[in-house]
Structure 1
């Protein structure tokens, strides 16, 4: 009877270890955005983005605090958080999606990630072209996409409409390490 119990414990451990070996985490992912404007370009960077990548399920989840974006000018940071994003009301942005046609054996691949992005309390379904590279430590994901400010009910006063682009370029970089090693 003890041999059977030990056998099941070993099998259970191997099963759990193989599942967790498919999960990766990026604790300090990077998201940047760029808004072209005739008066002054607006650019910000957030290096405190958390993401989980589950290769078995081909799923990805991303969460970031909006206040963590760093701007060149303090006034831009203040306006972004207080007037546009309203980060006191909507402190986080998130994304949940799936990796389409992901090939676990490929060293580098370009694929589409489809899912829901939530900004300013509004969720939209998007598809993002992404480069996935297998590294010695884990995986690296990068890419970019455009978002339309009005899609997320972000209000821009009429007097400032020419100072802020209607479409904003978002870039991302994530270095994933195995989840159990963190």
Structure 2
């Protein structure tokens, strides 16, 4: 886990920074929901990590694909083996930036737009999505819900179950950040 956190910060450290500018989240919550005519599918994990630099507004997320938990074990097996191929593509990773002029060093709730590249299933795709960042008493929380079109990431769904899985999946992310001490 320490090496994963170190990787987070390498992505954010492109210039000399002060430690209080970087915040990390070690138990970032990710969930997704697929609604189709035959079946709703939902999975969750709290094994994601994230970092945000409040000065440069760089933001980073990484989640182990195999950590998603489903209601049914068979769904989880199919998800990992057949669809997301978690042995071959073990992580989803997002590297981006907050585009707005929000001063993330000051208390407040900020509606922001984040743009960056999501690598999922070995495919990079640029996303520009809305989210909320709240700064209160030195703590930062961030959250967003956005849609991913599974075909955009070359995730193949067999014809036999195509009516069980939506073409677009709603992804939700929530993170509680603490300042990084160097």
TM-score of the superposition, structure 2-length normalised?
0.87
- Report the counterpart of residue 151 of structure 1 in structure 2: 152
Distance in 2 between residues matched to 1:57 and 1:117, nearest whole Å: 19
What is the CA distance between 1:135 and its match in structure 2? 2.4
Distance in 1 between residues matched to 2:29 and 2:138, nearest whole Å: 18
Deviation track 1:16-63 (CA, whole Å, cap 9, x = no partner) reads 8x7110100000010100000222210000101000111111101111
What is the CA distance between 1:138 and its match in structure 2? 1.6
Please give the residue correspondences for 1:99-178 in structure 2 after superposition, counting only pairs within 5 Å.
Answer: 99-101=98-100, 102-104=102-104, 105-178=106-179
Ranges of 4+ aligned residues in structure 1 off by more than 4 Å: none
Counterpart of 2:85 in 1: which secondary structure? coil
TM-score of the superposition, structure 1-length normalised?
0.87
**Structure (1/2) with the larger helix percentage:** 1
What is the CA distance between 1:136 and its match in structure 2? 2.5
Is the contact between residue 100 and residue 111 of structure 1 (CA under 8 Å) also seen in structure 2?
Answer: yes
- Report the counterpart of residue 64 of structure 1 in structure 2: 63
What is the CA distance between 1:88 and its match in structure 2? 0.5
What is the CA distance between 1:143 and its match in structure 2? 1.1
Distance in 2 between residues matched to 1:29 and 1:35, nearest whole Å: 20
Is the contact between residue 139 and residue 176 of structure 1 (CA under 8 Å) also seen in structure 2?
Answer: yes
Greater CA drift, 18-27 or 169-178: 18-27
Larger radius of gyration: 1
Q: Given the alignment of the two structures, is residue 24 of structure 1 paired with residue 23 of structure 2, yes or no? A: yes
Unaligned runs of 5+ in 2: 1-15
Deviation track 1:41-90 (CA, whole Å, cap 9, x = no partner) reads 10000101000111111101111100000100000000000000000000
- Report the counterpart of residue 87 of structure 1 in structure 2: 86
TM-align CA RMSD: 1.4
